[in-house]
Amino acid sequence: MSGKLELDPALVVRARELARRAGQPVVDLARSHTTVSVERAVLRLAGVTGADPDGIPWVNRLVDAVVADVGLGHGVAVPVFDALVREQISDVTLLAQKAAAGSVRFVHPTGKAATAARRAARRAVAVGVRQVDRRRAERDRLVKRYGDPAQRPWIYLIVATGDIYEDIPQAQAAARAGADVIAVIRSTGQSLLDYVPEGATREGFAGTYATQENFRLMRAALDESSRELGRYVRLTNYASGLCMPEMATLAGLERLDMMLNDSMYGILFRDINPIRTFVDQRFSRQVHARAGIIINTGEDNYLTTADAVDEAHTVTVSQLLNEYFAHEAGLADWQLGLGHAFEINPDVPESFRLELAHALLARELFPEAPLKWMPPTKHMTGDVFRGNLLDGFFNLAGAMTGQGILLVGMMTEAVVTPWLSDRDIALQNVRYVLGAAGGLHEDFVPAPGGFIQQRAHRVLGEAVDLLERIGDQSLLTAIAEGTFGIMKRPADRGKGLDGVARHEADYYNPATEILEAA
């Protein structure tokens, strides 16, 4: 810790211990359950690809067939690889096609047949994991060759036209204008699809569909930009929603660098069942850990529905929980792009000083994490001149508090999907502030016992109080009562619950076995 806020070290330790206490029952739940999306991710690592004429992936058809015959609680790997041997089929995608046609039946084998199926499943999944490892090594080589941006924070810019072939030139233009990270926003509603669309897509709604082919195309385009610019340009997409584990797996296979992955976002803002979400996010984060992907968490979203001053401590609580869940899944501190945002109503007296207190608190609680600092959205009015000024203050707060990933704010937020000219003006704002004050974090020290220190101490104290209450009642209860983002989400409701199953005694997941062994 830098000590600029003079936080009580014992209280910080207490906060992390309370986060562990609150999070451990959820981890236990995730370790004892599986979901259809976890099982589909396993089969994707084993080589299932493609989709039927209706666009439904073969992996969905295969998992549905297994579940119909033997249920989900044993896992799908053993029944699938047992069927490959019995049916004398060498290709797992062909098996999926036959299963969809109803010409293959699945059983849960025992004895030598089960042992043989487990070995075959592990061998097949290990091939996919090795591909993830190769893509991570490839990233390391390219970063060494082209270099990283000269300074932090990394400039993070959104591209989202709906058409991947239009996204690509816009992303490359943004990289030339100074963006270090390109985020392709996902099409509205995709998080509620219980399958991953196939192929390159040219029509989305307020975003572009996240598919393996779209990942591949954009990664290749940004590799061209990296060569041109002499610095490695990173790519971000989403591992959230009902297909979180599959998105993480496809990202690992196609060398994405960051993924939006929050432990509670889907629960709160997409009404996805809490158990489904926690099971899926643990597996997805294990994949991210293996792939060397930086996660971006979604605490900024809480402040779009709840008051950014009154509920500031819920952001800190969520950050601590996200840190615990991430570490448990194997992620290192450098992979934790913990989220927070510049969302206090600018009409509130001393709003900028409050923002500095909150941002510096996050920086000092998580000194080794990059942190993802989000621009104002809730209080953008359509006045582009006022909006550009607010974004300038946001950029300044990021420089003063040493943020790691700075999402570029748009003066046309809540008015239109940004034009290239809007992005250019926004990047000018960022470049000016970082060029003029990029090292200001070294010099900025709040007055001892002053407004900023007192505010940070109060927020941390309120966060500890809330964590104590959560530990007494359980995190699932706290979520059900609307503790975060004022959204009430009971554990026995929400989308995707029918795709969750408790492990049977003989449950087997070769991907988890490989990832946890590492």
* Secondary structure of 475-486 as H, E, C letters: HHHHHHCCCCCC
For this structure, is 495 an active site residue? no
Of 412, 414, 410, residue with least CA distance to 427: 410
For this structure, is 506 an active site residue? no
What is the rounded CA–CA span in Å between residue 157 and residue 425? 12
Residue among 167, 300, 391, 422 flagged as catalytic: 300
Residue among 232, 372, 422, 508 flagged as catalytic: 372
DSSP character at residue 341: E
What is the rounded CA–CA span in Å between residue 12 and residue 460? 8
For this structure, is 238 an active site residue? no
Residue 176 CB neighbours (<10 A): 12
Q: What are phi and psi of 188, to 5 degrees?
A: -55, 130
* Secondary structure of 408-429 as H, E, C letters: CCCCCCCCCCCCHHHHHHHHHH
Please, what is the Cα angle at 418 between 412 and 423, to 5 degrees?
90
What is the rounded CA–CA span in Å between residue 40 and residue 66? 11
Q: Sheet containing 258-260: give its strands across.
A: 336-337, 294-296, 258-260, 234-238, 181-184, 154-159, 405-407, 372-374, 339-341
Residue among 265, 302, 324, 508 flagged as catalytic: 265
Of 225, 217, 216, residue with least CA distance to 177: 225
User: What positions carry a catalytic annotation?
Assistant: 265, 300, 372
